[in-house]
């Protein structure tokens, strides 16, 4: 399978701060990839670089086999609507819908019309007066109706009501099935969106902590809960990402797999072991301050891929 997106050792510095640090990420063509991590993890910076709106300080980026920065042939294949996209002051919905096809050669009027109707986007209100949810709706219309081979959706759910989120998922999957493309979607609503993904990238503090097939994420970490001394004893030599304690009870989210011996011990001592769910993993990674030794360990296990 060829890669729609290929980032090798991509670093982006803004003055003193490093927004992305030696990021290696590949997204195969036709994939729906979840881009996850805390605020400030580097998700939007990464999308801007993929979209050719920003340039890495060092490293190499290829989108559909070419460098995206100031590259017209790539930009025609790409759709990226920022979560804080601005529109000209006097713009209403019809202005946006009129010019959007100029930038999207695969534009679908039908998709746009169905979404505008389903989201109930007001036609006469100036866009600058739109609510957060209405702005998200416009961004989703632009993202999906463009049918771009590489579609980047940055926090598409902000302010969307539950009906609108279901409509978004429905249209995304239907149109993706009919017109396969590569989709990267960043979100904090991990539980609600995780079933959409076949790939997952988790960023933290500008570094890639997980880049994996969605299905394999279950094997990356586990949670162990039970009496505090039991949990501490069993995880003494492991990389513990996060712990929660109340009165003698502890729950720990731990990298890697639990060996059979520890699993048996855990059961005999009344502790519970379960694969960490994606949202537990994202939350735990966001809490964890990695030691350099931890990162090396994950690299060996292929977690950082």
Partner 1 sequence: MFTEDAPIFQQLAARIADDILAGVHPEESPVPSATDLAVFHQINPATASKGVNVLVDLGALYKKRGIGVFVATGARELLRTNRRAEFRREYVAPLVREARALDIDRATLRQMIDDEESSQQ
Secondary structure of residue 285 in the 3-state scheme: helix
Closest distance to partner 1 from the beta carbon of 13 (Å):
35
- Cα–Cα distance for residue pair 201/251, rounded to 1 Å: 25
- Cα–Cα distance for residue pair 185/101, rounded to 1 Å: 22
What tokens were used for 127?
């866009």
- Taking residue 24's Cβ as centre, other Cβ atoms within 10 Å add up to 15
- Cα–Cα distance for residue pair 256/219, rounded to 1 Å: 7
For residue 216, CA distances in Å to 210, 213, 279 come to: 11, 5, 14
Let me know: does 252 contact 235? Beta carbons within 8 Å. yes
- Cα–Cα distance for residue pair 276/224, rounded to 1 Å: 9
Closest distance to partner 1 from the beta carbon of 191 (Å):
9
Residue closer to partner 1 by CB (options 165, 298) is: 165
Residue closer to partner 1 by CB (options 81, 196) is: 196
Closest distance to partner 1 from the beta carbon of 29 (Å):
12
Let me know: does 201 contact 208? Beta carbons within 8 Å. yes
Binding stretches for partner 1 (CB under 8 A): 32, 166, 169-170, 173-174, 176-177, 195-198, 214-215, 218, 274-275, 277
Closest distance to partner 1 from the beta carbon of 172 (Å):
9
Closest distance to partner 1 from the beta carbon of 278 (Å):
9
Closest distance to partner 1 from the beta carbon of 7 (Å):
22
Closest distance to partner 1 from the beta carbon of 203 (Å):
21
Closest distance to partner 1 from the beta carbon of 97 (Å):
25
Place of tokens 């957060």: 132
- Cα–Cα distance for residue pair 90/41, rounded to 1 Å: 34
Residue closer to partner 1 by CB (options 19, 183) is: 183
- Cα–Cα distance for residue pair 89/61, rounded to 1 Å: 34
Let me know: does 6 contact 62? Beta carbons within 8 Å. yes
Secondary structure of residue 37 in the 3-state scheme: coil
Residue closer to partner 1 by CB (options 54, 280) is: 280
Residue closer to partner 1 by CB (options 23, 217) is: 217
Residue closer to partner 1 by CB (options 21, 198) is: 198
Look at residues 254, 249, 291 and name the one whose alpha carbon lies nearest to residue 270.
249
Residue closer to partner 1 by CB (options 1, 123) is: 1
Residue closer to partner 1 by CB (options 119, 176) is: 176
Size of the chain, expressed as the number of residues it contains: 305
From its phi and psi, is residue 10 left (phi > 0), alpha (psi between -120 and 50) or beta?
beta
């Amino acid at each position: 399978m060829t890669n729609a997106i290929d980032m090798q050792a991509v670093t982006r510095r803004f003055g003193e701060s490093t927004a992305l640090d030696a990021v290696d990420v590949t997204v195969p063509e036709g994939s729906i990839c979840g881009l996850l991590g805390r605020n400030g993890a580097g998700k939007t910076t990464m999308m801007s670089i993929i979209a050719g709106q920003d340039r890495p300080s060092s490293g190499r980026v290829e989108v559909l086999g070419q460098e995206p920065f100031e590259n017209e042939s790539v930009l025609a294949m790409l759709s990226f609507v920022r979560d804080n996209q601005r529109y000209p002051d006097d713009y209403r919905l019809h202005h946006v819908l009129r010019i959007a096809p100029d930038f999207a050669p695969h534009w679908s009027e039908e998709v746009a019309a169905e979404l505008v109707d389903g989201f109930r986007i007001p036609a006469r209100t100036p866009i600058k007066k739109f609510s957060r949810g209405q702005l998200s709706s416009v961004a989703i219309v632009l993202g999906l109706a463009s049918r771009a081979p590489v579609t980047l959706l940055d926090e598409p759910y902000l302010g969307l009501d539950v009906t609108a989120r279901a409509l978004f998922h429905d249209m995304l999957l239907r149109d993706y099935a009919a017109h396969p493309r590569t989709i990267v979607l960043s979100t904090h609503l991990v539980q609600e969106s995780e079933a959409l993904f076949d790939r997952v990238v988790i960023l933290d503090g500008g570094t890639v902590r997980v880049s994996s097939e969605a299905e394999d994420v279950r094997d990356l970490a586990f949670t162990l809960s039970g009496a505090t001394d039991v949990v501490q004893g069993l995880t003494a030599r492991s990389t513990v990402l996060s712990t929660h304690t109340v009165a003698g009870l502890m729950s720990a989210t731990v990298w890697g797999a639990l060996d059979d011996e520890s699993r048996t011990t855990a059961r005999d001592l009344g502790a519970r072991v379960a694969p960490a769910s994606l949202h537990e993993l994202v939350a735990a990674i966001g809490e964890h301050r990695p030691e350099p030794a931890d990162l090396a360990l994950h690299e060996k296990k292929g977690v950082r891929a």
